Amino acid sequence: MVVSESNQVVAPPIQRGGFFSNLATGLKSLLKGMGITFHYFSRPSTVVTQQYPENRATLKMFDRYRMRLSLPHDENGFHKCTACTICEQACPNSSIRIVSRKGAVTNKTELDRFIWRMDSCTFCNACVVACPFSCLKMSGDFECSVYDKSLLVFNLTRYAGPTSTVLMKVTDPQERAKMWEPRDVYSGPVPLRGTAVPGGGRTLGAPEPVKASAPVAAPTPAPATAPAASATALAVEEEGGKK
């Protein structure tokens, strides 16, 4: 770029060569591209193109590949999320909503639901980087096609309750069970850009409830009419009148 005296950015002129120089440049570029093609053709083990879905059973995505957001749970089924909402604040387009609650036993803020909108997520990994407890992870699971887009909004936590650190301090299994409640994937509030859908709480992906319509009155039967006289009867009456 060139800056003129009036502080305006002016694009440099295109350098156009002659016919033979352009032809030589084109042939050089063609040979360079064909060289790469023949390189992979003669060394198929170096090909990076994945033969999907033929290699579906052995396909492994690259380490830096980002697709599905997950909230890892340990071997006991507990997570480390404290519902601090830092990931929600770091999300650039409101694809995360943290629903917290006050614990009945701990009397502290606990995670109730971790709602993630996959349909609007840009997979920027900002939530994973911002999490101070390393609770989130981007996995390489890319087969996420669905027929109902509401199935792309789901809850990542399996239970509502405190973190694994707090739960493991309680040695009595019965007392520990009182501190958490199970949560499934498709239930609870359905957030749309951070707000709940009217009548929220229905299961995601389930059909909308059918509204009861007003009963339709039965049609009033039409009054019975006398059957029309047949043509034979009319002919007999005319002959009788002539006589």
- pLDDT-based confidence at 99, cuts 50/70/90? very high
> What are the structural domain ranges in the chain?
22-59, 68-196
Look at 27-41, 156-170, 175-189 and tell me which has the smallest mean pLDDT: 175-189
Q: 68-196 architecture in CATH?
A: 2-Layer Sandwich (3.30)
Per-residue pLDDT reduced to its tens digit, 199-212? 444 433 333 444 44
Cα separation of 101 and 162, whole Å?
A: 10
pLDDT bucket at 185, cuts 50 / 70 / 90 = confident
- In this predicted structure, what is the pLDDT of residue 159? 94
Per-residue pLDDT reduced to its tens digit, 59-79? 888 888 888 999 999 999 999
- The pLDDT score that the predictor gives to residue 194 is 44
In the prediction, which pLDDT does 158 show? 92
**Tokens of residue 101, six digits:** 């609650």
pLDDT at 92: 93
Is the model's pLDDT at 12 over the cut of 80?
Answer: no
Query: What does the mean pLDDT of the chain come to?
Result: 78
Query: Among residues of the chain, what percentage have pLDDT more than 90?
Result: 37
User: pLDDT digits over 115-163, tens only?
Assistant: 999 988 999 999 999 999 999 999 888 888 888 787 888 899 999 999 9
